Amino acid sequence: MRIAQVAPLYESVPPRLYGGTERVVWALTEELVRRGHDVTLFASGDSATSARLVPCCDEALRLAGRMDEAHAATTIQLGLVYGQADDFDVIHNHIDYACFPLARLVRTPTLTTLHGRLDLAAVQRLSRHFGDLPLVSVSRAQRQYLPEANWVATVYHGIPLEHYTLRTRPGEYLAFLGRISIEKRVDRAIEIARAAGMPLKIAAKVDPADRDYYEHAIKPLLAHPLVEYVGELDERGKDEFLGNAYACLFPIDWPEPFGLTMVEAMATGTPVIAMACGSAPEVVESGVTGFVCRSLDEMVQAVRRVPEISREACRRHVEARFSTARMAANYEAAYERLLADRRPRRPERVPQTVVA
């Protein structure tokens, strides 16, 4: 199958440091190539892939400090993708809604995986206007905000298991990995660590949009002796950071569509203590691979219950549900379903009646 993968241009594929969607696109692209598909990746020029790379800007925009060029770069990307549309069987879009108007103008079907939140009013309006376009959700919880959309499948993210090392002995600190923003609630993680009397290490990026929040709401909290801010980590550093932790805190306060951090932590054997928002109850098996909680007090109590969790069970859970092989197989099925709906159906053969 000839497949175009359209990635965001904010991070390279795979990302050098932070990056969820781009990491998923890389894992999917590599697995599809391994399975024999002819894959073209539309991404930043500093991406590394075994697929054919079409560079849409010379380098990823965030780390280059060129986020102000995002609209122009994405416009160039769309021109490149849809200018070659007839060369593909499927265009797989990972940049949300930017592809929607052009998707209606070409014969090649565009399948969009929505990676972001869907509870916003603007998203509701978009969905009503482009309700015919086929979509994939990354969790069942994500799609509840657009129940009338043209959902083709729900496909959980997968990770390359070989990048994560199972560590059977727990570490001595709590871990917070991701992004410092108001909805991720690193302030809650600090409060939990202080209440539990355990060290907390924070590995997170700060986007320009969240800089004021970090400076005024979070930075003063980092002075506590139990708290250490280590900044952004690359793939190897993330494996060590998560694998050497006692537990991973995921105290979110928003409808998280998936939460790749939870899977990455469990792949190293580290249990996850998550707030019951968004996809968390789908990703973490409460009482088996961590704890899904409904209050801050429950999360503090869960820290004390971590010895009940088998680190080997955490790893098995990821191997069974969140591997790149399973993700790619589910997307292959979605591509085939999409193409089957587009193929013209053969008319039924009507038996001829012989008149004597």
Average pLDDT over residues 320-333: 98
Report the Cα 304 to chain-centroid distance in Å.
Answer: 29
Q: What confidence score (pLDDT) does residue 319 get? A: 98
CA distance 91 to 40: 9
Q: What is the CATH number of domain 162-318?
A: 3.40.50.2000
**Residue 349 confidence class, pLDDT cut points 50, 70, 90:** very low
Per-residue pLDDT reduced to its tens digit, 20-35: 899 999 999 999 999 9
Is the pLDDT at 351 greater than 70? The verdict is: no
Alpha-carbon span 235 to 27, nearest angstrom:
13
pLDDT of residue 123 exceeding 90, the answer is yes
The boundaries of every CATH 3.40.50.2000 domain in the chain are 2-158+323-342, 162-318
Ranking 86-100, 129-143, 334-348 by mean pLDDT, the lowest is 334-348
% of the chain with per-residue pLDDT over 70:
96
Domain 2-158+323-342 adopts which CATH fold? Rossmann fold (3.40.50)
Tell me what the mean pLDDT of segment 176-195 comes to.
Answer: 95
Residue with tokens 């496909």: 155
Confidence of residue 208 (pLDDT cuts 50, 70, 90): confident
